[in-house]
Amino acid sequence: MSEKRNQMSKTRIYEVARNLDRTSKEILAISNTLGFEAKAANSSLDQAQISAIENFLIPPEPKKKKSRKKVNQFENVSDGLVSESSGQRQSENYGGMTKKEVKRYQKAQRKLEKQSKTRQKVDKKAVKLPKQYSQRKANMIVYGTVIGLVALSAFALFSTGLRNFKQANPQSVTALKADSGLDTNNKINLFLSNFVGAYFNKGLDNSNQDALIPFYGGELLDVKNPQTNKGAYELVSSTLLEIKDKVGSYAVIYRVKTSEGDSWHEVSTIFNIPFGEKSGKYYVSDLPFVTQTESLQANKIKQNKLDKMTSIYDEAWQTKANNFVSAFFTAYTSDDNTLATMSKGIRGITGYKFKSLDYSYYTLNQSETKLTAEIQVTFEDNFAMTHSEDFTLELTKKEDMLFVSKLYHGIKASDSKKDRG
C-alpha cells in the first residue's frame, strides 16, 4: 500500500515542467544535475525531488556583510542541513534531501551562477548597439550622400564628353609654333594664303598691284625695276611648309600663259613670304622670294626704302663688286658647279635666270676683310615672266678676290650709315 501511495504521489517530468512553466528538457537537465535518476520526460519525481528543483530555480539571495561579532560555530550551518551527529533528512528548506545531496545541489547551483555571469559578460562585449542620430542629422547624411553621387556622375559625364570632343577635334587645340619662339596660329596661315592667291592670280595685261597693296600695309614696297609682265598667272595649289623666323614658306603650283592663244604652262616652286606683326595684325614686310630648298630663309628682315645707290667704296671698287654679284646670281640660277667656286654651302634655283642687278649697297668691317652687300635683283622664268627679290650677302675679301660666305633673303635692318634721302 505504501509503495502504491508513493507511486501515486510521484509526478512525471513533463507535468512538473508544465507546472513550473519550463521545458521538459530543462527539468530533466536539473534533475540530472541534482543526482536524480531521470532519463526521459516521462520519468517520475517524488515531492521531495520536486521541492529541490523548485528551490534550485529560486534565485539566490544577496550575500550579507560579515559581522565583526563572533558567532557560534554552529550558526554557520544553513537551515535544512543534516546535523553531523545524525544522518536524518532535513525537509524544512531542501525537501528532505540528505547532506550529500545538499552539497551536490549547492555545488551545481554555484557552477550555474558562474556560467550565467560569464555569459552575461560575453553578451555585453559582443552586442554593440548602433549609434543613434537625430532625425535632422540623419536627413543631412542622406542628402549629402545623394548630392555627392550626383556630383560624381556629372563629373564623369563631363570628362567623357571632353575626351570625345578632343578625339573628334584634334586640331582645335593645335597651333603652329615657329622655331624662333614666335607663337603662330592659323591666322598667319590664312593671311599668307590669301596673299599667295592674290600674287598668283593675274589676267593678261592686267596688273595685280592694287590687290597686293593691302597685304603690304597700304603701301607698295620699293621696287627699282617695276615689272611689266604681259601674261596671266593662275594659282593651282599652295601648301604651307613652315613658318620660321617670320617667313612663311609655301609649296606653290601655278600656271602661266603669255598670250591669248598660248596654252597654260604649269610651274612649281617654293614661295617664301616675309611678314611682320603690328597690333595683332599682319603685313608682308619684304619682297617674296623663291628657293629650291627650304634651307635659305631670311633672318629678321625688315622693309626698307632703297632711295639711293651709295657705297663707301670708290667707283672702281663698286664696279668690281657689282660685276662679282652679277656673276654670282648668274651662277645661282644656272650653274651649281660655278656657284660652288664662288660661295660655301649655298644652293641655287632652277627654272629662273638672272636678268639684272637693280640695287647694291656695300659696307666694310674695320679689319677690311669682310664685306656686307645689300642687293635687289630681277629674275626671269622660262616664260619671260619677271619678279624682283632682295638679298643680303656676306662676302669675304682676300686680296682682290671676293667670296660669298652667307646668303640671306631680304634686306637686313636699316643702317644709320646709309643715305636714305
The CATH number of residue 403's host domain is 3.10.450.540
List the single range of 94-98, 223-227, 337-341 with lowest mean pLDDT: 94-98
Give the mean model confidence (pLDDT) for residues 239-262: 86
Chain mean pLDDT for the chain? 75
- Contact between 196 and 252 under an 8 Å Cβ cutoff? The reply is yes
Work out the average pLDDT over 6-27.
80
Residue 140 is assigned to a structural domain of this protein: no
Residue 168 in domain: no
Do 214 and 113 share a structural domain? Answer: no
Is 341 domain-assigned? yes
Q: Is the pLDDT of residue 65 over 70?
A: no
Q: Please tell me the pTM assigned to this model.
A: 0.42
The CATH number of residue 197's host domain is: 3.10.450
- What residue numbers bound the domain in which 287 lies? 186-291
The pLDDT, as a whole number, for residue 312 is 52
| 348 touches 339 (CB < 8 A) | yes
pLDDT of residue 120: 65
pLDDT of 316 strictly over 60: yes
The answer to whether residue 252 sits within a structural domain is yes
- Looking at the fold, whether 333 and 273 belong to one and the same domain comes out as no
Residue 352 placed within a domain: yes
Task: Tell me: do 267 and 381 sit in the same domain.
Answer: no
Within a domain: 171 = no
Residue 389 lies in a domain: yes
Q: Are 9 and 81 contained in the same domain? A: yes
pLDDT computed for residue 326 by the predictor:
93
In a domain, 161, yes or no: no
Segment 149-166 mean pLDDT: 75
Number of structural domains found in the chain: 3
For residue 358, what pLDDT band results from cuts at 50, 70 and 90?
A: very high
